[in-house]
């Protein structure tokens, strides 16, 4: 009890990506079978917000019923949830009609990037969907000026250029972009291993994939206490009871 003021984070986030529902190598990886594992973790860990940072579906040809099943589960969960499309799911969320989008669901679908404000969490969140997975596409280009809310989070699906071998790959994120981003946390997807890639004052992490071939599979739990004290830890799901 020697750190009382920091015991309860001001904002607690479940950050996941690369769920790859309906991927070829696992017929068990459907929304019905697997998304409840994420919902269960969100509830048991009492997070304030869920971030799905791209490649939620493995293919943009996933049946619309599966997309609707995901949206239904999120709507029932009753926690704010951000969806950012990645290179595998691209425009799959375009087919979700407005009337299915509950008050707690924020889908980043504007091609040039989109910011949502969630006043109940004193949070703004910005991201840009991957509609053209090309070397020209820059997932962090166009981050708006820091808004007035207490917290500002950026979500991106792309590849941090931390190896010269990646130089001509698509959807690249450069160190300078990480350095220049004026926000509290950069929630990344695309690389399926938990990894810190912080370059500037904003913490930046890949959360890892929650299942699939990666070892160990992880989600990330992000605890924001104050601007100077943000903790990110990898967790394996399902949680033990």
Q: Tell me, by CB under 5 A, how many residues bind Mn ion.
A: 4
Q: Which is nearer to Mn ion, 80 or 189 (CB)?
A: 189
For position 190 contacting Mn ion by CB under 5 A, the verdict is yes
Residue recorded with tokens 């071939």: 213
Considering only residues 48, 55, 58, 177, which one is a binding residue for Mn ion as defined by CB under 5 A?
55
Considering only residues 9, 23, 86, 208, which one is a binding residue for Mn ion as defined by CB under 5 A?
86
What is the rounded CA–CA span in Å between residue 218 and residue 38? 11
Q: Which is nearer to Mn ion, 57 or 152 (CB)?
A: 57
Asked if residue 178 lies in contact with residue 146, where contact means CB atoms within 8 angstroms, the answer is no
For position 48 contacting Mn ion by CB under 5 A, the verdict is no
Rg (CA), the chain: 17
Q: Which is nearer to Mn ion, 43 or 162 (CB)?
A: 162
13 φ/ψ sector (left φ>0, alpha ψ -120 to 50, else beta):
beta
Tokens (6 digits) for 88: 């595998």
Smallest distance from the beta carbon of 57 to Mn ion, in angstroms?
Answer: 11
If one counts every other C-beta atom within 10 angstroms of the C-beta of residue 98, the result is 5
Smallest distance from the beta carbon of 86 to Mn ion, in angstroms?
Answer: 4
For position 17 contacting Mn ion by CB under 5 A, the verdict is no
Q: Which is nearer to Mn ion, 45 or 161 (CB)?
A: 161
Q: Which is nearer to Mn ion, 67 or 209 (CB)?
A: 209
Draw the binding track, 56-75, toward Mn ion (x: CB under 5 A; -: no contact).
--------------------
Q: What's the CA dihedral at 27, 32, 33, 37 to 10 degrees? A: 140
For position 87 contacting Mn ion by CB under 5 A, the verdict is yes
What is the rounded CA–CA span in Å between residue 76 and residue 104? 10
For position 127 contacting Mn ion by CB under 5 A, the verdict is no
* Letter string b/e over residues 21-60, b meaning 16 or more CB atoms within 10 A of that residue's CB: bbbeebeebebeebbebbbebbeebebbbbbbbbbbbbeb
Smallest distance from the beta carbon of 145 to Mn ion, in angstroms?
Answer: 28
Q: Which is nearer to Mn ion, 16 or 87 (CB)?
A: 87
Smallest distance from the beta carbon of 106 to Mn ion, in angstroms?
Answer: 20
Tokens (6 digits) for 32: 């019905």
**Contacting residues toward Mn ion, per CB under 5 A:** 55, 86-87, 190
């Amino acid at each position: 009890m020697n750190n009382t003021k920091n015991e309860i984070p001001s904002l607690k986030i479940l950050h996941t990506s690369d769920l790859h529902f309906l991927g070829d190598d696992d017929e068990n990886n459907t929304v019905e079978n697997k998304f409840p594992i994420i919902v269960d973790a969100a509830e048991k860990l009492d997070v304030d917000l869920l971030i799905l940072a791209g490649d939620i579906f493995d293919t943009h040809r996933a049946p619309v019923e599966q997309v609707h099943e995901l949206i239904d589960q999120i709507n029932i969960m009753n926690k704010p949830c951000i969806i950012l499309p990645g290179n595998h799911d691209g425009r799959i969320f375009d087919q979700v009609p407005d009337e299915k989008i509950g008050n707690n669901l924020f889908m980043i679908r504007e091609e040039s990037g989109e910011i949502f404000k969630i006043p109940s969490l004193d949070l703004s969140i910005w991201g840009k969907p991957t509609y053209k997975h090309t070397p020209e596409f820059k997932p962090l280009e166009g981050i708006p000026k820091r808004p007035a809310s207490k917290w500002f989070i950026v979500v991106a699906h792309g590849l941090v250029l931390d190896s010269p071998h990646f130089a001509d790959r698509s959807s690249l994120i450069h160190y300078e972009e990480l350095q220049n981003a004026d926000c509290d946390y950069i929630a990344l997807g695309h690389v399926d291993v938990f990894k810190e890639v912080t370059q500037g004052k904003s913490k930046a992490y890949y959360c890892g994939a929650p299942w699939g071939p990666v070892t160990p599979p992880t989600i990330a739990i992000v605890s924001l206490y104050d601007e100077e004290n943000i903790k990110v830890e990898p967790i394996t799901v399902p949680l033990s009871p």
